[in-house]
Structure 1
Amino acid sequence: MKNASTLFLKLAVILMGIATLALCIFLVSKFGNFAGDLYPDIAYMKYLVFIVMYGSAVPFYFALYQAFNLLRYIDEKTAFSELSVKALKTIKCCAITISGLYALGLPLFHFIAKKIDPPIGIMPLIIIFTSLVIAVFAAILQRLLQEAINIKSENDLTI
């Protein structure tokens, strides 16, 4: 049962990666070109959109890789190790990076949203909030796991 649940989560991680890759290939370029068409007098508009969106894809994939590693540690029964703590710390840093990129790009998206109907200005806020929730959750898990490792090492020393 334990391997089935981690297998399901591994498949979910892979599917999230494939879906994000499809979005990066098909929609980001169209959205960047659309932003460039909205403001033809601002030549670098589409490149700013590309920097924010493709730039956030890099830490996203790195976090997915670390999540996959974390699931592998669970399968190998080495979940209570420093490698798991390091993976959670990396996931936390990646989520903060994604939030930071979209927070920096928020004025850009607001600028684009002013010209279109319906406005898409809320989407970056949702991404920022979701990434921050993931970062806080990873930080809490990291702290709990580190405390469990410390308690385990103390118990191993007292016996």
Structure 2
Amino acid sequence: MKRGSTLFLKIALILIGLPVLALCIFLVPEIANFAVDLYPDHAYLKYLVFLDLYATAIPFYFALYQAFNLLHYIDKTKAFSELSIKALKKIKFCAITFSGIYVVGMPIFYLIAEADDAPGIILIGMAIILAGLVVAVFAAVLQKLLQEAIDIKSENDLTV
């Protein structure tokens, strides 16, 4: 396959990663400071917000890296290989981890939403959890389909 055929998707992955990086640099400290402003007696909330939001960035960027690797395998005509299955498995694990970290952090966002009287924060958190789970299910389905395609390909290779 030509190298340029996946170039658009590689650029899209980079463009997905840049806004998240900007959010981590500029918005996360503001959210943490906002939590401390709402609950001045609980200064540790700042560190919990940092821990929760920065911890979700790790599996997010690892999943982007694995998607980039998957596109590289497609460029090298190794799309139907165990490497691709492993990359999809890692993406699935990262998506589940991402959602799990947000589930653990939802009580913090509940406290912020309750003090600020903004239930939209909880809805946004639940939408992020759901998005991570959708990515995990999609990666699991692709992993299973790819495994079946590899099995069929190996059967056909043995038959001929």
Give your verdict on TM over 0.5.
yes
Whichever residue aligns with residue 7 of structure 1, its letter is: L
> Where do residues 64-75 of structure 1 align in structure 2 (5 Å cutoff)?
64-75=64-75
Measure the CA separation in 2 of the matches of 1:6 and 1:36.
Answer: 44
Displacement of 1:4: 4.1
SS at match of 2:79: coil
Measure the CA separation in 1 of the matches of 2:47 and 2:6.
Answer: 39
- Give the 4+ runs in structure 1 shifted more than 6 A: none
> Where do residues 51-90 of structure 1 align in structure 2 (5 Å cutoff)?
51-90=51-90
Question: Are residues 113 and 2 of structure 1, via their aligned partners in 2, closer, same or farther at CA, if it must alter by over 3 Å?
Answer: farther
Whichever residue aligns with residue 33 of structure 1, its letter is: N
For the pair 1:143 / 2:144, whether they are aligned, the reply is: yes
Question: Are residues 2 and 118 of structure 1, via their aligned partners in 2, closer, same or farther at CA, if it must alter by over 3 Å?
Answer: farther
Measure the CA separation in 2 of the matches of 1:141 and 1:2.
Answer: 22
> Where do residues 35-114 of structure 1 align in structure 2 (5 Å cutoff)?
35-114=35-114
- Count residues with an aligned counterpart: 159
Measure the CA separation in 2 of the matches of 1:150 and 1:42.
Answer: 56
Measure the CA separation in 2 of the matches of 1:85 and 1:29.
Answer: 37
Measure the CA separation in 2 of the matches of 1:66 and 1:20.
Answer: 17
Measure the CA separation in 2 of the matches of 1:134 and 1:4.
Answer: 25
Q: Deviations over 1:4-41 (max 9, x none)?
A: 44111100100111111111000001111111111111
Query: Which structure 2 segments of 5+ residues have no match?
Result: none
Whichever residue aligns with residue 110 of structure 1, its letter is: Y
Whichever residue aligns with residue 74 of structure 2, its letter is: I
Measure the CA separation in 1 of the matches of 2:158 and 2:140.
Answer: 27
Superposition CA RMSD, Å: 1.3
Q: Deviations over 1:87-133 (max 9, x none)?
A: 00000000000100000111110111012244311111010000000
Q: So what's the TM-score if we normalise by structure 2?
A: 0.95
SS at match of 1:115: helix
SS at match of 1:40: coil
Measure the CA separation in 1 of the matches of 2:69 and 2:61.
Answer: 12
Measure the CA separation in 2 of the matches of 1:116 and 1:148.
Answer: 52
SS at match of 1:114: helix
Q: So what's the TM-score if we normalise by structure 1?
A: 0.95
Identity %: 66
> Where do residues 117-156 of structure 1 align in structure 2 (5 Å cutoff)?
117-119=117-119, 120-156=121-157
